[in-house]
Chains A and B, each alone.
Chain A
Amino acid sequence: MSLSHRDTKGTRILESKIQSKAFQELSQAAETLVNPEIKRWREQGGKVLGYFCSAMPEELITAAGLLPFRMRATGSTGTDLSDTYFSSINCSFPRHCFNIALQGGFDSFEGVVCINSCDNIRRIYDNWKRQLPTTLVHIMSLPRKTGKPQVEWFRDEVANLKLLLEKHLNMKIPDERLWDAIALHNETRRLQRKLYDFRKLDNPPITGTEALAVIVAGTAMPKERYNQLLTELLDELGKSAGNTDYRARLLLMGGILDDPAYVKVIEDQGGLVVTDSLCFGSRLFWNDINERASDPITALAQYYVADRPSCPRMFGDYERRIGLVREMIRDFKVDGVIVERLAFCDHWGFEQFTIENDFQDDNIPCLIMDREYILSGAGQLRTRVQAFLETMGR
């Protein structure tokens, strides 16, 4: 199974019916770590700041004049180096990521900011500090709950990060710049929601594979450029006849999934992924940051702790989380749900259990899948999806 081919320069290109240059650029960004837009940014003297977790207020990074890059390990082939620091019972995402870091893959980054997202990721911070010469390595404490006290706590965390960036870069980040960054990122969210609106159609002009590539690209290039490319893509999609050759419409749920090839395996069986609840997906953009809040730091804290769709890492928010998924099932005319989980993820392990029970009660077809960060069990995935579609009578 191959999702992509390589061009004359050896760069992987996503196979797609969408032929526009905009889509090619976006998909290339998803299939590489250092894409042409990042190269251009750096050639112009720009700096890149890596961050883990979709709860990172990346608007602050933009406002500091840095390019926020959501950490991933695209292209990783092994964990030989990081296995000294992690164990085989750790999730493969941080192991691959840290392996690339030890290989020097992120050496050009100005810094890396972690969140205590999970037990695996939070230790990347500790190992990074000890093993790598990166000058700016920081961790933020994200609350486990989503109430007002938690928003206030995280407000201080965001303010602390702002101070840290200001000190590191020897600059001030005025509120106006933060508001501008919030507006810019909200524009990205609005465009991404438009993209998903197309997926509600009976003949969606974009597949789940392609959509994932587009969303991943948004975490790896300057937002102005991304918005421009996405606008071009949306124009093209509006003129497309769309896809009708599918057996079922699926919703994909889970944690970190940044590899369109995984979705392609599903879609190759006839299951068109029409929407998702992923942290490289709808959870990034389902609603906006309040641009009329009293101050930008509070607006960021409110959004990242309480307003945006949560993942199982947050306690006490299951009903809102699953409520949103149920709305999506209705609005996107979803026939079945696939809940994928990176092996050894405790958050999604219990969440799968709860979702399966709840969906069983509601007669919503549901397939529970475990996977590794690097696509390795394509055969098994193919068989499971085939069987799943058959059980749905598709």
Chain B
Amino acid sequence: MVDKGLERTIAERDHFEFLLKFLEESPSETSHLLIPLVRANLEHYKDTVRCIEEGKPVIASYFSNAPEIFTAMDIHWYCPVAAAFAGAGANPYLMNDLEGTDKLAVSSDICTLLRMAMYYTEAGLLPRPTAIVGMIIPCDGIVALHEASRRSKQWRDIPMFAPDPPYFTDERSIDYFAQELRRMVDFLTEHTGQKLDIGRLREVVEVTNEQYKLWQEINELRRAVPCPFNWGVGGGPFALTQNRWVGDSRGLEWFEAALADSEKRVKAGKGWLENERIRLLWFDVHPTWFFDLAPWLEEEWGAVIVMDMFSYCPYTLVDTLNEETMFHDLAKRNLMDTTMVRQAVGVADNFASDIVRIVKDYKIDCVVWPAHMGHKDGAASVGIMREVCRDLGVPFLSIGIDTFDPRYTTPDEVKNRMSQFFTAMGLG
């Protein structure tokens, strides 16, 4: 009998196996970018199953915890909230899981993703980890989730450590966070028996440095008019630098292929869309139901998501000179760069200056703040965003969605809101 905690993981593994076969048998213009991502996911799920079945250490962790360290320590990890993106984002369990989540006595005004994570834990739907490296950044909800997970009957005996993020991003903050990462290493050694080899960490970081460099080049090409890439590209770099194949040369090959693709398009003066009419900044992560919305934006309005939160990071390169420089720069990268963390942690100047820079650099026609119901700090910043956009002379739209629950504001309602906005602003 399959362990309940592995059921979903095994289903995911099988799903990606099928998807890989399908993509290999049905080549398309984007197969060379999709296939490696599917393969990376397939390997991830296979490794999770293998580790659990063989009793090897597995940790539950989140992005922004310097995953290079996990790779260098040869510890397999999975992200608990990734379960919400099952089926390569198509999530066949979504409605059932949302119903299960609704039955949980956690207030429904809390981020649905975090409530779902609690549901997965309580319902025993996640592989049981050896240890947990929590993430208590960038929002209150995730701190509260981890505190509740510590007390969950399913997980309360599993040791947990969470690096403490300071609110600022100055040198003092980076040094402090670097020390927290060192304490994370001690915790991992204590609970998994694995040790950190600094030489191995250097090798891993050298690969991710190359990945980040290529990511930067890809992003710079996205400035081109027309834009050579569409919304789908943001998830790839994020996945490969923070979640899958971290420090693996195959991840690097994906970046090289993606860059080559962009260069080819830019040189040919070809955009992702033949008739690009709106260049849009989607200032948040992608909803799980983006497969419904984003293609519609392209087809109906000629709107390209030129930049988004998944894609935009300032690409801190890690100085591999010695252990100290690596920890310092990994702290900086994970405190200041990663998706949502960069935008939500710290004072509003951080995200406000990003909006200014992206709008100018990427020739943005309009800024959309989807206003996910869980992003309370963003909700409390909506006036600032509006003023920043007004000063830039770029139209701004705040919608009000649930990134993980299409029942909150349905994709059709979002389409209506966006159509009205484009029409009113004379866009497209």
**In the complex the two chains form, what is the Cα distance from A350 to B398 in whole Å?**
27
Q: Is A268 engaged at the interface, CB distance under 8 Å to the other chain?
A: no
- Selected interface stretch from A9-17, A138-146, A166-174: A138-146
Q: Is A150 engaged at the interface, CB distance under 8 Å to the other chain?
A: yes
Beta-carbon contact of B107 and A316 below 8 Å: no
Q: Is A149 engaged at the interface, CB distance under 8 Å to the other chain?
A: yes
Chain A, Cβ-Cβ closest to B347: A126
Contacts of B173 in A (CB 8 A): 141
Partner of B105, one of A126, A139, A353, A358: A353
Contacts of A368 in B (CB 8 A): 105
Beta-carbon contact of B168 and A141 below 8 Å: yes
Given A94-B380, A127-B384, A318-B151, also A149-B144 (CB < 8 A): no
**In the complex the two chains form, what is the Cα distance from A87 to B380 in whole Å?**
6
Chain A, Cβ-Cβ closest to B350: A126
Contacts of B151 in A (CB 8 A): 318, 354, 357-358
Beta-carbon contact of B107 and A144 below 8 Å: no
Mask: chain B, 152-167; 1 = CB below 8 Å from A; 0 = not: 0100000010101111
Beta-carbon contact of B376 and A143 below 8 Å: no
**In the complex the two chains form, what is the Cα distance from A149 to B294 in whole Å?**
45
Q: Is A37 engaged at the interface, CB distance under 8 Å to the other chain?
A: no
Contacts of B180 in A (CB 8 A): 149
Contacts of B387 in A (CB 8 A): 130
Contacts of A356 in B (CB 8 A): 105
Q: Is B118 engaged at the interface, CB distance under 8 Å to the other chain?
A: yes
Contacts of A312 in B (CB 8 A): 144, 147
Q: Is A282 engaged at the interface, CB distance under 8 Å to the other chain?
A: no
Beta-carbon contact of A85 and B107 below 8 Å: no
Contacts of B140 in A (CB 8 A): 118-119, 313, 345-347
Contacts of B179 in A (CB 8 A): 149
Partner of A90, one of B107, B347, B379: B379
Mask: chain A, 112-132; 1 = CB below 8 Å from B; 0 = not: 000010111011111100100
Beta-carbon contact of A370 and B143 below 8 Å: no
Beta-carbon contact of B376 and A126 below 8 Å: no
**Chain A count of residues within 8 A CB distance of the other chain:** 51
Mask: chain A, 143-180; 1 = CB below 8 Å from B; 0 = not: 11100011001001000000000000000000000000
CB contacts under 8 Å to A, within B152-194, are 153, 160, 162, 164-168, 172-173, 176, 179-180, 183
Given A85-B382, A86-B383, A368-B105, also A344-B147 (CB < 8 A): no
Contacts of B165 in A (CB 8 A): 144
Contacts of A343 in B (CB 8 A): 107, 109
**In the complex the two chains form, what is the Cα distance from A312 to B142 in whole Å?**
12
Given A90-B379, A315-B143, also A125-B384 (CB < 8 A): no
Contacts of B141 in A (CB 8 A): 346, 349-350
Q: Is B418 engaged at the interface, CB distance under 8 Å to the other chain?
A: no
Question: Smallest distance from the beta carbon of A97 to chain B beta carbons, Å?
Answer: 12
Partner of A344, one of B109, B344, B349, B382: B109
Given A90-B379, A351-B147, A354-B148, also A153-B107 (CB < 8 A): no
Q: Is B340 engaged at the interface, CB distance under 8 Å to the other chain?
A: no
Contacts of B150 in A (CB 8 A): 316, 318
**In the complex the two chains form, what is the Cα distance from A124 to B376 in whole Å?**
12
Beta-carbon contact of A144 and B164 below 8 Å: yes
Beta-carbon contact of B109 and A349 below 8 Å: yes
Partner of B147, one of A94, A142, A318: A318
Given A353-B104, A353-B105, also A347-B376 (CB < 8 A): no
Q: Is A264 engaged at the interface, CB distance under 8 Å to the other chain?
A: no
A-B contact count (CB 8 A): 155
Beta-carbon contact of A126 and B382 below 8 Å: no
Question: Smallest distance from the beta carbon of B118 to chain A beta carbons, Å?
Answer: 7
Q: Is B409 engaged at the interface, CB distance under 8 Å to the other chain?
A: no
Contacts of A94 in B (CB 8 A): 380
Chain B, Cβ-Cβ closest to A85: B383
**Chain B count of residues within 8 A CB distance of the other chain:** 53
Question: Smallest distance from the beta carbon of A393 to chain B beta carbons, Å?
Answer: 23
Chain B, Cβ-Cβ closest to A160: B172
Q: Is A199 engaged at the interface, CB distance under 8 Å to the other chain?
A: no
Q: Is A341 engaged at the interface, CB distance under 8 Å to the other chain?
A: yes
Question: Smallest distance from the beta carbon of B254 to chain A beta carbons, Å?
Answer: 34
Q: Is A84 engaged at the interface, CB distance under 8 Å to the other chain?
A: yes
Which of A125, A142, A149, A350 is the most central at the interface, judged by chain B CB atoms within 10 Å of its CB?
A350
Q: Is A352 engaged at the interface, CB distance under 8 Å to the other chain?
A: yes
Beta-carbon contact of B106 and A350 below 8 Å: yes
Beta-carbon contact of B110 and A85 below 8 Å: no
**In the complex the two chains form, what is the Cα distance from A143 to B162 in whole Å?**
12
Beta-carbon contact of B377 and A122 below 8 Å: yes
Partner of A153, one of B147, B176, B348: B176
**In the complex the two chains form, what is the Cα distance from A34 to B139 in whole Å?**
34
Beta-carbon contact of B377 and A123 below 8 Å: yes
Which of B107, B139, B349 is the most central at the interface, judged by chain A CB atoms within 10 Å of its CB?
B107
Mask: chain A, 305-316; 1 = CB below 8 Å from B; 0 = not: 000000011011
Q: Is A1 engaged at the interface, CB distance under 8 Å to the other chain?
A: no
Q: Is A89 engaged at the interface, CB distance under 8 Å to the other chain?
A: yes
Chain A, Cβ-Cβ closest to B183: A149
Chain A, Cβ-Cβ closest to B150: A318
Mask: chain A, 48-66; 1 = CB below 8 Å from B; 0 = not: 0000000000000000000
Beta-carbon contact of A85 and B144 below 8 Å: no
Beta-carbon contact of B139 and A119 below 8 Å: yes
Q: Is B136 engaged at the interface, CB distance under 8 Å to the other chain?
A: yes
**In the complex the two chains form, what is the Cα distance from A149 to B145 in whole Å?**
23
Which of A153, A313, A318, A354 is the most central at the interface, judged by chain B CB atoms within 10 Å of its CB?
A354
**In the complex the two chains form, what is the Cα distance from A153 to B172 in whole Å?**
9
19 sample A-B contacts, Cβ–Cβ < 8 Å, listed by A number: A86-B379, A86-B383, A123-B377, A126-B384, A127-B384, A143-B164, A144-B136, A150-B164, A315-B162, A316-B160, A316-B162, A318-B151, A344-B376, A346-B110, A347-B143, A349-B107, A350-B118, A352-B107, A354-B151
- Given A85-B382, A346-B140, 8 more A-B residue pairs with CB atoms under 8 Å apart are A120-B376, A142-B167, A144-B143, A144-B164, A149-B164, A153-B166, A354-B148, A357-B153
Query: B-contacting residues of A (Cβ < 8 Å)?
Result: 84-87, 89-91, 94, 116, 118-120, 122-127, 130, 139, 141-145, 149-150, 153, 156, 312-313, 315-316, 318, 341, 343-347, 349-354, 356-358, 368, 370
